[in-house]
A and B are shown apart, each in its own frame.
Chain A
Amino acid sequence: MSSSTAALPDGPRRISRETLVKWAPLLVLVVLVLLFPLFEWLEDFRDGKDHIYLLDSRFLSIRNFARIAISASPALMVAIGVTFIILMGSIDLSMEGTVSVCAVMFALMFIGMGGTLASWAFLAIPGALVVGAVMGFINGLVHVKLKIPSFMASLAMGFVGTGFALLLTGGDRIRVEDEAFRSLLTVRWFNFPVMCYVALLGLLVAWFIQSRTTLGRNFYAVGGGEELAKASGLNVNRVRIMGFTLAGVFFAMGALLAVGRIGIAETATGNGFMFVSITAVVVGGTALWGGIGGVWNTLIGVLIVNVINNGMVVIGLPNWVQDGTLGLLVIAAVVLSTDRRSVSFVK
């Protein structure tokens, strides 16, 4: 019996499908990276300018890559947070509110405690992470204890968060001008600002959690078969609440990088993160139904989204195209990752 390698009834098809879903995001990213220079080349060719494909590309330059990395860093943190939730088959739409609250709380604490990293104000950084954790924890409690579907619980919590941030700021912008903190953006190592390395570190931590901790593996168990996981004695509710808490921490990381990037904390700091992060996660190949994907997929997804946004600007497309493109992209990604035979109906 051990030697019997009877394949699944529909073995070959499933494998090809899996392979496709697994590698499609990376392929898309590579194609995009080659595509934008092609447009540049075409344009210069039309204008009769000298242009060697790829080599003379403005898109394909270290400077532009740094630009992409800067814009991708906060989004990556937020997207990693929501990745854990989506892995469980749930969704978290609270990120805009959570990011705003964390950003504002951070700025208030930072300035309140001295306004420079060289003072006690550095405590504002762990402080902000705790704020994120608390918001995520409440979010998880509302979802699990009140038995409200996560998309709605988190959407409502997001509104509460944005409202709370507005309450804190009264609509004002809070400037964080400490040079040490702003070195996240201003200091560059190997052409890339510090914040990119911070984001990379965050990614590695997330990868560690995903692959090396019980919690991380339990996300996959819950997403792969909640009932079965329960039957095996897993405390699914606890896993869910911890998942939302963890997501909150990563949202706070995103908030810190976002503040570091522009030097301002305000109610609007979180704006736009919801759609970008959800898009990035599903485009990266993490299935909305849970159980498949992970933080590396999210890295690819975030890069795809940011490469598209950046590339469109480089080749001179108006920026209004971006929102619509992402909208269509997310639909396409969900459709591609859905095994239609296994879904009866959706609402």
Chain B
Amino acid sequence: MTLETLKPHFPWITLLVLVVLVGALNPSFFDPGALMLLMADIVPLFIMAMGMTFAIYIGGIDLSVQQLANVVTVVATVYLANFGIGVAVIAILIGFLFGAISGYVTTRLFVPSFVSTLAMGFVALSMAKWLSDQRALSMDATLRNDSFGWMFDTTAGFPNELIIALILLALAWFLQTRTTFGRSLKAVGAGELAAVASGLNVDKVKIIAFAISGAFAAIAGLMFSVKLSGGDANLANGFLLLAIVAVLVGGTPLTGGVGGVVNTAIGTLIVMVIRAAMVYLEVDATQQQMVFGIVLIAAIALTIDRSKLRGIVK
């Protein structure tokens, strides 16, 4: 067993070790009800991270997800009265469209994805500020409960939020492993030049990957907005770091090609356990960001495939 063959197993081993550690420190961590709540709590982040997985899988990055979620919280709050549950469709369309534009700018206009998504994020921010008039908005309680109240019910003892997350995970997993698109995604991530030489429409695949990332970010924003019953242009700030961390500690490296949405599920759980541990150890909330920043550096350093960087690391 070499380090390389062990590498794919790092994420779940890490998760297991962390769970055991946290459980040993604090046996109440295993209380099913509390655990379920913890998991339900992290669902919006998970969905965002799942979308981000697609962008990272092809070797790109999506820095716009946080701003997309922001604009969606505003859109959902503002248009809930007009469209009811239909606002979900609008939200997802907005996310998809923003993502597709980022993808187009990246692939066809040769702007690196960290710049194009950063820039599109600011366009989204503009839109959010405009729609919200730069105020924190809140949803009408009745309307919210009529349209989206079901999200926070339980089915057979399981929070519906968690069920939504599982359904989306199943969908994303199916897309990734069982469809021609998923296969193309893998080819582009693992060997872009070979994909080109095999006649794949690489640009299209990449644009769709960014669009999916945007759409999932929108779903995350929508759930977050409903959860907090409101929207504002900064509501989802703080998601970006955790989403990237979740993808990378899950084992989808920055260089793409391996890993996937199931890995991101594990990565999100790792994030959740670390957070729970910090709460239990009474680590100040102000230190969390620093901790996750360092976790991020460690995760990248451990997962990145340096042979793909071809000697030059810029």
CB proximity to A under 8 Å, residues B104-149: 105-107, 109-116, 118-123, 125-127, 129-130, 134
Interface check B290, CB cutoff 8 A:
yes
Known A-B contacts A160-B293, A163-B289, A163-B291; the reply to A331 vs B111 at CB < 8 A is: yes
Whole-angstrom distance from the CB of B313 to the nearest CB of chain A?
5
Q: State the A residues within 8 Å of B (CB).
A: 88-91, 93, 142-144, 146-153, 155-164, 166-167, 170-171, 226-227, 275, 278, 282, 288, 290, 318-328, 330-331, 334-335, 338, 340, 343, 345-347
**Do A152 and B126 touch (CB < 8 A)?**
no
A160, A226, A346: the one within 8 Å of B112 (CB): A346
Main secondary structure of the interface of A (DSSP, over half): helix
Interface check B41, CB cutoff 8 A:
no
- In Å, the complex CA distance between A52 and B26 comes to 75
Interface check B58, CB cutoff 8 A:
yes
Known A-B contacts A331-B105, A346-B113; the reply to A275 vs B122 at CB < 8 A is: yes
**Do B126 and A143 touch (CB < 8 A)?**
no
Whole-angstrom distance from the CB of B118 to the nearest CB of chain A?
7
- In Å, the complex CA distance between A226 and B300 comes to 23
Interface check B309, CB cutoff 8 A:
yes
**Do A149 and B309 touch (CB < 8 A)?**
yes
B121, B292, B309: the one within 8 Å of A147 (CB): B309
Query: Which of B79-87, B169-177, B213-221, B280-288 has 4 or more CB atoms under 8 Å from chain A?
Result: B280-288
**Do A227 and B293 touch (CB < 8 A)?**
no
Inter-chain contacts of B304 with A (CB < 8 A): 147-148
Whole-angstrom distance from the CB of A108 to the nearest CB of chain B?
15
Interface check B183, CB cutoff 8 A:
no
- The residue in chain B whose Cβ has the minimal distance to the Cβ of A144 is B313
Inter-chain contacts of B291 with A (CB < 8 A): 163
Whole-angstrom distance from the CB of A89 to the nearest CB of chain B?
5
- In Å, the complex CA distance between A93 and B121 comes to 15
**Do B296 and A159 touch (CB < 8 A)?**
yes
- The residue in chain B whose Cβ has the minimal distance to the Cβ of A279 is B119
- The residue in chain B whose Cβ has the minimal distance to the Cβ of A223 is B314
- The residue in chain A whose Cβ has the minimal distance to the Cβ of B311 is A227
**Do B314 and A323 touch (CB < 8 A)?**
no
Q: State the B residues within 8 Å of A (CB).
A: 58-61, 63, 105-107, 109-116, 118-123, 125-127, 129-130, 134, 192, 202, 241, 244, 254, 256, 284, 286-294, 296-297, 300-301, 304, 306, 309, 311-314
Q: Which of B284, B287, B297 gathers the greatest number of chain A CB atoms within 10 Å?
A: B297
Q: Which of B256, B284, B313 gathers the greatest number of chain A CB atoms within 10 Å?
A: B313
**Do A163 and B314 touch (CB < 8 A)?**
no
B58, B118, B244: the one within 8 Å of A275 (CB): B118
- In Å, the complex CA distance between A102 and B304 comes to 30
**Do A143 and B293 touch (CB < 8 A)?**
no
**Do A163 and B287 touch (CB < 8 A)?**
yes
- The residue in chain A whose Cβ has the minimal distance to the Cβ of B60 is A347
- In Å, the complex CA distance between A49 and B11 comes to 69
Inter-chain contacts of A345 with B (CB < 8 A): 107, 192, 202
Inter-chain contacts of B311 with A (CB < 8 A): 227
- In Å, the complex CA distance between A157 and B292 comes to 10
Known A-B contacts A147-B306, A149-B254; the reply to A160 vs B134 at CB < 8 A is: no
Inter-chain contacts of B114 with A (CB < 8 A): 91, 93, 151
A148, A227, A330: the one within 8 Å of B301 (CB): A148
Known A-B contacts A143-B313, A163-B287, A227-B312; the reply to A346 vs B300 at CB < 8 A is: no
- In Å, the complex CA distance between A147 and B309 comes to 9
Inter-chain contacts of A320 with B (CB < 8 A): 126, 129-130, 134
- The residue in chain B whose Cβ has the minimal distance to the Cβ of A146 is B301
Inter-chain contacts of A148 with B (CB < 8 A): 254, 297, 300-301, 304, 313
B59, B111, B125, B297: the one within 8 Å of A334 (CB): B111
**Do B119 and A331 touch (CB < 8 A)?**
yes
- In Å, the complex CA distance between A334 and B106 comes to 11
Known A-B contacts A149-B254, A152-B254, A324-B126; the reply to A331 vs B109 at CB < 8 A is: yes
Q: Given A147-B313, A170-B286, list of 14 further CB < 8 A pairs?
A: A91-B114, A150-B314, A152-B254, A163-B288, A164-B290, A166-B290, A275-B118, A278-B118, A288-B112, A288-B115, A319-B129, A327-B118, A327-B122, A340-B110
**Do B111 and A322 touch (CB < 8 A)?**
no
Whole-angstrom distance from the CB of A328 to the nearest CB of chain B?
7
**Do B314 and A335 touch (CB < 8 A)?**
no
